[in-house]
Amino acid sequence: MVQHYSRSLRFRFLAALGGVLLIALMSLVVLSRWVIFPALHKEERAVVTQELKKIERALQISQQNLLAQARDWAIWDDTYEFVQGNYPGYTDTNFSQQMFEEMGYQLMAFFNAEGGVHFLAGINPATGRYHTCYSTERECRWMAGLVRTMQASIKEDPEQGKSELYAGSPPLIVASNPIFRTDESGPLQGWLFQVRPMDNAWLALIEDYTGLETTLSVVNSSDSNDIAITISGNTIFAQRYLSTYPLNEQLALETQLNRTSYLASLETFRYVLLWTACLMLLVIVLVLLLLERIILKPLKILTRFTQQASDDLEGAHSLLRRGDEIGILARAFQKQFKRQQQLNAELIELSTHDPLTGLPNRRLFDQRLQEVVNIALASGQPLTVMMIDIDHFKLFNDHYGHPEGDVCLQRVAQAMHNVASAHGFFIARTGGEEFSAMLPATSATQAVEKSQALSHAIDQLQHPHQVSPVASYVTVSIGISQLDIEGAMTPSGLMTTADQALYAAKAAGRHCVKVYTPSLANAVFSSHNTPP
Ligand SMILES: Nc1nc2c(ncn2[C@@H]2O[C@H](COP(=O)(O)OP(=O)(O)OP(=O)(O)O)[C@@H](O)[C@H]2O)c(=O)[nH]1
C-alpha cells in the first residue's frame, strides 16, 4: 500500500513540489541571512555614519567660527596696540562678562611676542564668575593649566592660525591666531587664544542644528580614528574619536539613533517573508487541488475505463468528450479497444468456424458438446448427437473436380444450417464431408425426425451426383446416438456410438438414418431407411 502510494503521481508530484518549496524556503533563508540582513545592517550603518558626520560638520563649523572670531580680534589694530601696552582702555571697552556669555567664550588669552601672558579674561567654569588678570595668579589660577598648554603650542608652532580641541571637563574648542596689524603687516606682537567650552549649552546648539542627541566624553588615547558602532536593543550608538591637543587623550563624539527605520524594514521584510511562504503553500495546495481535479481524477476514470473498457462507466462519456490529452488518450484507447474487440471476434470466428461453409468447426462443436453433456447429465434431460456424411463424396470430387466439391459442401452446409436453425439445434462441420449436430433435450426418436428433415432438405437441393450408386443427386447418411444409453456417458463415447450408427447407415446402403443401439456394436442394425 505504502509502496503503491509512493509510486503514485500524487505522491511524486507532492514530493517534487515539496522539494521545490524546501529549496525556495532555503533560498529565502540564505538570501535573508547572507544578503538582505547584511544589506539592511549596512544601510543602517550608512545612515548612522551619515548622521554622525552631520555632527562632525557642525563641530567643524563651530571651530571655523571661533577661529574666524579669534582672527578678527587678533588682526585688529586696537589689539595690536593693546599687546604693545599702548591701549590701556582696551580691556574695559571690549571685555565684559556679558560679552563672554553672549559669545559663549570661556577664555581669551593674549600673549606677548615672547610668549608671556599679556592679558587673560574668562569665566571660571567651576564658579561661573568672570575674571580678568595679567597672570595666572589668584582668581585666574584656574586658567594656569590651559595657559601652559597654549604656551607649549606657541613654542611648537608659532604660526598658529588654527583651531584645536582640548580635552577637559567640559572639552574645549581653542582657536588661536598671531597678532598682527589689520593689514597683517608685522612685526608679530603676540598671540591670541580664544576658548569656547563644549558644554551642555554648546551640545544643545549642536542638537538644535543637527536634530541629533550628542554627547562628548574624554577617553584614553585610542589608535582608532574609525567610527565605532554598537547596538543595544532598539538603539544604535555611533562614536567618532577626535584627536585633542596635546594628543595624549581623545574625545569621543557620540550620538544615538533609534532603530525604528531598520526595525520597520526588518518587520516589513519578515512580513513579506511570511506572506511569501504562506503564498507558496497556498499555491502548492491549489496546484495539488487542480492536479487532483484536472489530471488525477480523469486519470483514475481513464484507468477504470481501460480496465473495464465500458462506455457505461460513470464519467466515461465526459472523459471521451474532453479536448485535452486525457480525452485524446481515452478516445485512442476506445478506438484501439474496439479494434481489438473486432480482431478478437474475427479470431474467435476463425478459430471456431469453418472458412469454407461458415459452420462451427470441430473445436467449437467439442467445446459445446462437453457443456451440453454436463448439463444433460446434471439435469437428466436427454441429449442426442447426429453424424452426417455425404455419400460417395470421393466419387463426386473425382468426377466434378475439387472446386465443385467445395460448392457442393457449401450448399449442403447451408441447407443443413437452415434446418438446424428452424429446429433449434446446433450443427458443425467436423470433418471433410462430415457434419455433426447436437440436440439438447431431444430423444433419439425425436432426433430421427430432425435427421429426416435434414436428409430431406439435402435431397431437395437435387445437387447432381451422376456417379453416385445411391441416387443421381447428392445424398447423406446419418448416425444418431443418445446420451445415457449404455456406453455413451461421455462426449467421446457419444460421438463414437454416433459414428457406429453412421457406419451402420453406410453399411445399410447409405442415404438413410441409423440410431445407435447396443446391438449395433455387433453389427445388428435397426434401420430407419429414408426413401432413395
Ligand atoms: N472438395 C472437397 N473435398 C473434400 C474436402 N474435404 C474432404 N474431401 C473429400 O471427401 C472425400 C471423402 O472420401 P471418403 O472418406 O472415401 O468417403 P466417400 O467417398 O464419401 O465414401 P462414403 O463416405 O463411404 O460414402 C475425399 O475424396 C476427400 O478428398 C473439401 O474440403 N473439399
Q: What is the mean pLDDT of residues 335-345?
A: 89
Tell me, what DSSP letter sits at residue 66?
A: H
Over 70: is that where the pLDDT of 522 sits? no
Phi, psi torsion values for 499, nearest 5 degrees: -65, -40
**SS3 assignment, position 390:** strand
Confidence of residue 163 (pLDDT cuts 50, 70, 90): very high
% of the chain beyond a pLDDT of 70: 94
**Tell me, what's the pLDDT at 146?**
94
Residue 45 CB contacts under 8 Å (≥ 6 apart), including other chains: 229
How far is the CA of 496 from the CAs of 168, 435, 445, 502, in angstroms? 139, 14, 19, 10
Which residue's CA is the nearest one to ligand 1's atom 30?
432
Residue 122 CB-half CA count within 13 A: 27
**Tell me, what's the pLDDT at 143?**
94
Kindly report the average pLDDT of the chain as a whole number: 89
Over 90: is that where the pLDDT of 287 sits? no
Which residue's CA is the nearest one to ligand 1's atom 3?
405
Q: What is the mean pLDDT of residues 235-259?
A: 85
Q: Which atom of ligand 1 is nearest to the CA of 393?
A: 20
How far is the CA of 314 from the CAs of 31, 329, 388, 491, in angstroms? 50, 17, 51, 45
**Residue where the block lists cell 547572507:** 34
**Tell me, what's the pLDDT at 243?**
86
Structure confidence by residue, pLDDT tens digits, 369-393: 999 999 998 898 999 999 999 999 9
10 Å Cβ neighbour count for 168? 20
Which residue's CA is the nearest one to ligand 1's atom 5?
432
Tell me, what DSSP letter sits at residue 36?
A: I
Q: Which cell numbers hold the place of 450? A: 430432425
**Tell me, what's the pLDDT at 249?**
80
- Look up the ipTM and state it: 0.98
Structure confidence by residue, pLDDT tens digits, 55-100: 999 999 999 999 999 999 999 999 999 999 999 899 999 999 999 9
Over 90: is that where the pLDDT of 162 sits? yes
Q: Is 391 in the pocket of ligand 1 (CB under 6 A)?
A: yes
Over 80: is that where the pLDDT of 291 sits? yes
**Tell me, what's the pLDDT at 514?**
95
Q: What is the pTM of this model?
A: 0.53
Q: Are 331 and 316 in contact (CB under 8 A)?
A: no
Q: What is the mean pLDDT of residues 403-429?
A: 96
> Pick from 497, 502, 523, 492: which is nearest to 434 by CA?
502
Domains of the chain, residue spans = 51-258, 353-528
CA distance 530 to 162: 156
CA distance 403 to 400: 8
Which residue's CA is the nearest one to ligand 1's atom 15?
394
Q: Higher confidence at residue 400 or residue 228?
A: 400
Confidence of residue 31 (pLDDT cuts 50, 70, 90): confident
Over 90: is that where the pLDDT of 3 sits? no
Structure confidence by residue, pLDDT tens digits, 480-494: 999 975 566 789 989
Over 90: is that where the pLDDT of 106 sits? yes
**Tell me, what's the pLDDT at 1?**
55
Q: Higher confidence at residue 527 or residue 95?
A: 95
Mutate to test the pocket of ligand 1, among 433, 468, 476, 499 (most ligand atoms within 8 A of CB): 433
Q: Which cell numbers hold the place of 234? A: 532598539
Phi, psi torsion values for 481, nearest 5 degrees: -140, 145
Rounded to the nearest 10°, the torsion over CA 326, 331, 335, 338 is: 90
Over 50: is that where the pLDDT of 526 sits? no
Mutate to test the pocket of ligand 1, among 361, 392, 397, 402 (most ligand atoms within 8 A of CB): 397
Q: Which amino acid is at 314?
A: E
Q: Is 499 in the pocket of ligand 1 (CB under 6 A)?
A: no
Q: Which atom of ligand 1 is nearest to the CA of 391?
A: 25
Q: Which cell numbers hold the place of 247? A: 594628543
Q: Which amino acid is at 175?
A: A
> Pick from 395, 399, 439, 393: which is nearest to 419 by CA?
439
Structure confidence by residue, pLDDT tens digits, 175-194: 999 999 998 887 999 999 99
Confidence of residue 273 (pLDDT cuts 50, 70, 90): confident
Confidence of residue 283 (pLDDT cuts 50, 70, 90): confident
Q: Is 435 in the pocket of ligand 1 (CB under 6 A)?
A: no
CA distance 415 to 354: 15
Q: Is 433 in the pocket of ligand 1 (CB under 6 A)?
A: yes
Q: Is 397 in the pocket of ligand 1 (CB under 6 A)?
A: yes
Does domain 353-528 fall into CATH 2.60.120.370? no
Over 80: is that where the pLDDT of 222 sits? no
